[in-house]
Amino acid sequence: MAGITKVKETTSQGTVLITGANGSLGLSLVQQLLEQYPSYSAILTVRDISDRDPNTEALRKLLSRFPAANATIEVLDLASLSNVRAFAEDVASRVSTGKIPPIAAIVCNAFAWSLVGMKHSSDDYELGFQVSHLSHFILVLKLLDAMNKSTGRIVLLGSVVHDGAEKFGAKFPDDLEKVIKPPSDKPGEEFAQGFQRYANSKLANVMFMLTLNKRLAKDPSLKGITAVAVNPGDMPTSRAFQHVPFAFRMVLKIAACLLPLFQYFTSLTTTKSAAINLMAMSVGPDASGSRGYFEGQKPVQSSKDSQDKGLRERVWKACEKWCGLKQSETVLNIGEGEY
């Protein structure tokens, strides 16, 4: 795969794969990894690796500060299932041939959303759900065999809105096909519908984590791999809010100014603080063997809907269908349910 490599002959504790590595949170994750956990190799994925992308250029500049780092910047287009497949197969091949160490952690950081009208992927699916959940679903399942089977960790991103009790909280329609191919937004409802779709992708992530842990635990060869879903907190300084309605951006600007105070009694946080927690959950020694849902590094109960075993199984099977997953693509037995 195309990439920029900082090559050093060092003994690595394993490979950490971070998606969306050039985003606001992604850059903080990379910095935290390189500063605090330098014994790991890194695969840092971006959609656009060209010099024209200012976010990728920021990632390159960050890497230049760590000349000893063993890291690559690689293309991964989560809006294309065929690209995700090719990427996963290439990474798995490099692990199996000893070119890179086994995967210690997959940090599913990348996401997409639109609060100003629905967008679609190259597979003609709703863009946010595919990038935020479905492509990570197949990426993780295809890479299980390339992971460290004793201590590998999968980190998915949750959110407070995965809980349907929250305003704009997640709610799957009875017809799950409307998750991946929802009806067009009604005029004036673009923000509400866009946020609903974002929330649904977060609920899907939490459900995936819960079901995946159950299935991994049933397989003697995979039971050492664990999964967590982490709510990193709300980050008003994130670039993800660039393309939201003007009034919402103004609220976020005010929140960002008051962040030093608000972060102590609200869910608001900085990208640096979020990255510290996420990397601790990804490779930190204290989180080894952790499973379940977390707010930062604190274990908490996930939403009522996420605990619905029947709905979890329906969503899992729907995702298998939407991405065309075959048993030959994963070492996990996808024919079995959770129990």
- 13: helix, coil or strand? coil
Distance of CA 114 to the CA centre of its chain: 17
Rounded Cα gap, residues 124 and 39, in angstroms: 40
Could you give the CA distance from residue 295 to residue 290 in angstroms, rounded to a whole number? 13
pLDDT of residue 195: 87
Is the separation of the CB atoms in 157 and 232 below 8 Å? yes
Measured distance CA(185)–CA(48) in Å, rounded: 28
Whether the Cβ atoms of residue 88 and residue 139 lie closer than 8 Å to each other: yes
Residues contacting residue 54 through CB under 8 Å, at least 6 positions apart: none
**Residue 225 near residue 231, CB atoms below 8 Å:** no
Please, are residues 46 and 12 in contact by the beta-carbon 8 Å criterion?
no
pLDDT at residue 247, rounded to an integer: 54
pLDDT at residue 142, as a whole number: 99
Which pair of tokens denotes residue 334?
């996808």
- In angstroms, the CA 296 to CA 155 distance is 12
Q: What is the pLDDT of residue 256?
A: 46
pLDDT confidence of residue 265: 42
**Residue keyed to tokens 């329906």:** 314
Of the candidates 242, 142, 245, 227, the residue with the CA atom closest to the CA atom of residue 188: 245
- Token couple for 337: 């349910």
pLDDT at residue 243 in the model:
52
Q: What are the residue boundaries of the structural domains of the chain, listed by start?
A: 3-233+270-329, 238-268
- Residue 87 near residue 106 (C-beta atoms within 8 A): no
pLDDT in the model for residue 245: 54
Taking CA atoms, 203 is separated from 134, 188, 189, 225, in Å, by 12, 25, 21, 21
pLDDT in tens, the chain (339 residues): 445 444 444 568 999 999 999 999 999 999 999 999 999 999 999 999 998 999 999 999 999 999 999 999 999 999 999 999 999 999 999 999 999 999 999 999 999 988 888 999 999 999 999 999 999 999 999 999 999 999 999 999 999 999 888 877 899 999 999 999 999 999 998 888 888 999 999 999 999 999 999 999 999 999 999 999 999 986 444 444 455 555 554 544 544 444 444 444 445 668 899 999 999 999 999 999 999 999 999 999 999 999 999 999 999 999 999 999 999 999 999 986 665
**Sign of torsion over alpha carbons 271, 277, 278, 282:** positive
Return the structure tokens found at 84.
């995700």
The CATH fold assigned to 3-233+270-329 is Rossmann fold (3.40.50)
Q: State phi, psi for 297 to the nearest 5 degrees.
A: -110, 10
Dig out the tokens for 254 from the structure: 């005010």
Q: Which two structure tokens, joined as six digits, stand for 137?
A: 């679903």
**Residue 338: what pLDDT?**
62
The two structure tokens encoding residue 335: 């024919």
Give me the pLDDT at residue 9, please.
45
Q: In this structure, which amino acid lies at residue 189?
A: E
